[in-house]
Amino acid sequence: MKARHLLLAGIAAAVLLVWPHFLKSYGIYLLSYWLIYIIATMGLNLTVGYAGQKSLGHAAFFGIGAYTVAILLKAGVSFWLGLPAGALLCFAVGLVLGFPALRVQTIYLAFATLGFNTAVWLLIRNEEWLTGGTFGINNIARPELFGFSLEGNKAYYHLVLVITVLMGLLLWGLLRSPWGKAFTALRDNPIRAESLGVSVRGYTLLSFAIGAAYAGVAGGLFASLVQFIEPAPFNVAASIMMYLMVVVGGPGYFLGPVLGAAVGVILPEWLRDVPGVANWYLPAFGAAVVLLMVWLPDGLLSIPDRLKARREAREASALRAATAAATRQEVSA
Amino acid sequence: MTDFLQLLLSGLATGSIYALAALGFTLLWQASGTINFAQGEFVMLPAFAMLACMSFGAPLGIAFVLTVLLAVVVLGWGFKRGVVDPLLRFGMMPIVVATIGLSIAMRNGVRAGFSAEAHPFPNLFADKIFNVAGVTVTLADIGTFALAVAIVLATQAFLSRTVTGRAMQAVAQNTESAQVLGIDVPRMVFYTFAINATLAVAAALLVTPTYLAKFDMGEGLGTKAFFAAIIGGFNNSRGALVGGLIVGVAENLAAAYISPAYKDAVALLIFMLVILFKPQGLLGRKEERKV
Amino acid sequence: MAKTKNTHTRRLLCQALIASCALGAGGAWAQQTIKIANIVELSGGGATAGTNFKNGVELAVKEINASGGILGKKIESTTSDTQSNPGIAKGLTQKAIDDDVFAIFGPVFSGSIMVSMAESRRAEVPNFTGGEAAAITEQGNKYVFRTSFTQATAMPKLARYIDQKMKVKTLAVIYVNNDFGKGGLDSIKKALAATPVKVAAEISTEPGQIDFAAAVLRAKQSNADALFAYSNEEESARLLRELRKQGYAKPIVGETTLTGQKVIDLAGDAANGAIAHVGLTVDAPNPAIRAFRAKFEKEYKYVSDHNGMKGYSGVYLLKAAIEKTGKLDAKAVAQTLHGLKVSATQQPGVLMDVSIDGKGDLDRESFMVEVKNGKQEVIATVPALGAAAAK
């Protein structure tokens, strides 16, 4: 099992490294866009999928990260300082957002985070002196690495790829550690977890904070990718899309965000080019999401588990039938 | 003082619009634990359906009745069987995402299939303005408010005074016991969806003259409806009315006395305060958390 | 890896060299059609404007192809939806450039064009936009061209009218809080700074706002002599209704989006008396415009708004420039466009005589319009800035 996974990972890495060289600028741009959303969705997956919280305000952190990097870049601070600064700021704000989560649950929490997102969006939109308001911040530069300019699409893509892999490994490590187990305990049965000594308060706050930090990193990368930011991509609708990506990919599955972000970012783009769909690509996307959910409520990555469950059920029935037959033989004999 | 009254009355009229959208949302949550992110679109679609009927020459009344029937079948029964029933036992997440997908499909479907323009919608009420001591209200303001209150009270009465209504409440509070008592649970749940669909059509009728029929009219309306429902009390029908009115009035007062750019923040602030200190809403009953 | 941008430009230069060689050799030039990309908002907040712009463009393309194309070549146009999202607009522009388009039309929203025009500049492809924000032509981009006035041109004309014809001392401003509205607010303030008129109140409203009671009250409280209303069509209609409801008696003045036919349809009687400076209106008493209006209505079964006119006239501007340049060289056509003067008699598709300056801005006649009895009536014609003697 282990060797097979490593081989798959190796192939995936090779594909991701080499593929862009066969693509034109649009394809590379789209891939970078996808990778950035994978990072953001990984964070949300931690909060929602592993820790079982409800967060409909993720795009706010995406925005805070983006604006932090953009504002600092305009002020002359290097990208390499701006990105961690954005992540730290998001971590802090995420901790703050965790507090309502201690008081309210499920749908109320979902709406509290939604309210938080709207508040952040309003601040970004109205405080023109800081954020450029509705005019946004334009001409955001791309970073340099050891004198190497990362201005080109391909170069920037590689940077984003490296950061995505690093963040993924970080998350992998986190989930395999005792912290990861604590998060899942929080999701499955918080009261029992508390009784076993897991600090529900602490881990709730942490799940929001870490998720937020991931979104902050993604936001910073986003700012330099698009090179122009305005309040629109950080509103509630964007948060809702991110939530959609997590659930469609498979909440609580490590690679869920990869598939979820693909559905959210790449599927609509792909649908555009399908002949006959054209103007209807968005309704088709919406319908596809509904069908996907009805068919696979646990997300796309639940497919292997479902197949396994069905196979085991069949084996169990076969075993039972065989045993029953054998018992009948014995009895009649 | 007249300014304050003007803002108050306008706010009540707008707030009653939010209340209508919030009402169905509240009912669905109570009866089946469904969070319907497509609630705004559930109001938008009947608006266009009525416009379509009228473009074939039908008068508004007939268009309304036809649309109610259509809505009950599609937005009531179809929604329940197609989306809610298969997903209910998997928790909140899949239903939320499915309704998100539904709202995207409905909104963009109308845009692609019909038009991206805003269309005028005939008003139930004549265009009359009343001026009382310096404060102006239109007949539509008063009419919308009165009808919204009437609808909410009627729904409340139905739920608490009729046998069917009480059966629906029983199903909402404790499904297993209701079943044991012989209540036809699936049918009660269906009634809830049917009522939601009807309320949505009624909301469309009252709301669209002001909102104008446009494919994205559901977005703003939906968000305000969610806030109104939570503020007022998510498990109480009158709560939807109170919540809606509070949001409508607060917005106006904030825009006039605090800052127009942050007017949405006031509803938000109230909402956050309610969530943090009285999560069941101003009129709601506390829900027990299961261990 | 750092050489990507230079490689791209070098590749384009090589292509241009080869192209000019082929043309010089007498035209076995591979490209049989003129490819244009229509990158517009078809969903999201900009859907109405984008859809109308696109319809205008496609109508023009259809007409031009039916009458033989440009320089004998047909136009091939593709349309894509930016979802009113600048990030997506940027990607789609790159995609169009990957597909070797000759010119790009759209996006309409200022935020999106600011992003995508960096791409079209890199690729040296003319990019026509419907955006009105002043900043668009202040970036030093030689490849962006407007299809409507910049707010920096329109507002001074309006300011002059407010000061000289309306003779008001104070003005209240109600604007929509997005880049379009705020840009308009900044421009009118700047324009009014040169006049004795003072801005008494700046009242922001939300896109999609329903209830304007507070905004109207604030305007009344400011005791200004007149109101400048700058918002999108639906909101303008609701604002006008609220103004009438509260019995607002002072003059109401605005720009194109205040008095469009759609606004009149939505606002009913409340629109009567509103005055606006209008750059493009389908109701102008101008034969080319009347013809356009009829054709658009026949094709799409509804009346165009000013965005439809922008798209339509933009394509004909491109046609005029290509014909003047004499060859299909995007860079040369862009150069021709700067300083180009096109008259509506020669090229009826541009709808009105127009000249383009070095920054990509348009100079054109415009109109002062008043709504009377549910119809737009032109009450004055404002000459092009270049045509008027220094005033």
* pLDDT one-digit tens code per residue, C32-82: 889 999 999 988 888 888 999 999 999 999 999 999 889 889 999 999 999
For helices A106-126 and A79-103, the axis angle rounded to 10 degrees is 140
Chain A positions in Cβ-Cβ contact with residue C87 (cut-off 8 Å):
33, 222, 225-226, 233
How does strand C226-230 pair with strand C33-40? unpaired
Q: Is C178 on the interface with A (CB under 8 A)?
A: yes
- Subunits next to A (3 or more Cβ pairs <8 Å) are B, C
Cα-Cα-Cα-Cα dihedral sign, residues C176, C180, C186, C188: negative
Q: What ipTM did this prediction achieve?
A: 0.86
Indicate whether C295 pLDDT > 90: yes
Q: Cβ–Cβ of A226/C115 closer than 8 Å? A: yes
- For the CA atoms of B83, B86, B90, B95, the dihedral, rounded to the nearest 10 degrees, stands at 0
pLDDT in tens, C191-202: 999 899 999 999
Find out if CATH 3.40.50.2300 is the number for domain C31-149+287-360: yes
Nearest residue of chain C to residue B260 (CA atoms): C204
Q: Which of B108, B221, B231, B276 to mutate against chain A (most A CBs within 10 Å)?
A: B108
Q: The pTM is what?
A: 0.87
As a whole number, mean pLDDT of residues A252-266 equals: 91
pLDDT of residue A27: 87
Tokens 């009660």 identify what position? B188
Q: Is A298 on the interface with B (CB under 8 A)?
A: yes
pLDDT of residue C332: 92
What stretch(es) of chain C map to CATH 3.40.50.2300? 31-149+287-360, 152-278+366-382
Q: Is B37 on the interface with A (CB under 8 A)?
A: yes
pLDDT in tens, A8-21: 777 887 888 888 78
Q: Is C115 on the interface with A (CB under 8 A)?
A: yes
As a whole number, mean pLDDT of residues C338-364 equals: 89
Q: Which two tokens stand for residue A105?
A: 């649950």
Domain C152-278+366-382: state its class.
alpha beta
Classify domain A25-300 by CATH number: 1.10.3470
Q: Would you place residue C3 in the very low, low, confident or very high pLDDT band (cuts 50, 70, 90)? A: very low
Among A63-72, B196-205, C14-23, C86-95, the range scoring the smallest mean pLDDT is: C14-23
pLDDT of residue A276: 74
Q: Cβ–Cβ of C114/A138 closer than 8 Å? A: yes
Q: Is A142 on the interface with C (CB under 8 A)?
A: no
Q: Cβ–Cβ of C81/A232 closer than 8 Å? A: no
pLDDT of residue C46: 84
pLDDT of residue A333: 66
Q: Would you place residue B73 in the very low, low, confident or very high pLDDT band (cuts 50, 70, 90)? A: very high
Sequence-separated (6 or more) residues with CB below 8 Å from residue A122:
B261, B262, B264, B265, B268
pLDDT in tens, A144-176: 887 777 888 888 999 999 999 999 999 999 988
Q: Under DSSP, is residue C74 helix (H, G, I), strand (E, B) or coil?
A: strand
Q: Under DSSP, is residue C368 helix (H, G, I), strand (E, B) or coil?
A: strand
Contact call for residues C285 and C378 (beta carbons, < 8 A): yes
Q: Is B106 on the interface with A (CB under 8 A)?
A: yes
Q: Which of B83, B100, B291 sits opposite A294 (nearest CB)?
A: B83
CA distance C254 to chain B (A): 20
Q: Cβ–Cβ of C86/A135 closer than 8 Å? A: no
Q: Which of B37, B97, B227 sits opposite A247 (nearest CB)?
A: B97
Q: Cβ–Cβ of B103/A298 closer than 8 Å? A: no
Q: Which of B93, B101, B223 sits opposite A236 (nearest CB)?
A: B223
As a whole number, mean pLDDT of residues A31-38 equals: 94
Domain ranges of chain A: 25-300, 304-333
Sequence-separated (6 or more) residues with CB below 8 Å from residue B137:
B9, B10, B13, B129, B130
Q: Which of C50, C205, C233 sits opposite B260 (nearest CB)?
A: C205
CA distance to A88, A175, C209, C230, C242, per residue, from C245 (Å): 51, 61, 17, 19, 5
Beta strands in chain A (DSSP E): 137-138, 144-145, 148-149, 228-229
Q: Cβ–Cβ of A227/C177 closer than 8 Å? A: no
Counting Cα atoms < 13 Å in the Cβ hemisphere of A119 gives 17
DSSP-derived secondary structure letter, B88: G
Contact call for residues C296 and C308 (beta carbons, < 8 A): yes
pLDDT in tens, C352-381: 889 998 888 998 888 899 999 988 888 888
The span from the CA of C231 to the CA of C325, in Å, is: 39
DSSP-derived secondary structure letter, C309: H
The span from the CA of B27 to the CA of A111, in Å, is: 17
Indicate whether C2 pLDDT > 50: no
Indicate whether B181 pLDDT > 80: yes
CA distance B80 to chain A (A): 12
Count CB pairs under 8 A between chains A and B: 130
The span from the CA of B172 to the CA of C125, in Å, is: 62
Beta strands in A54-187 (DSSP E): 137-138, 144-145, 148-149
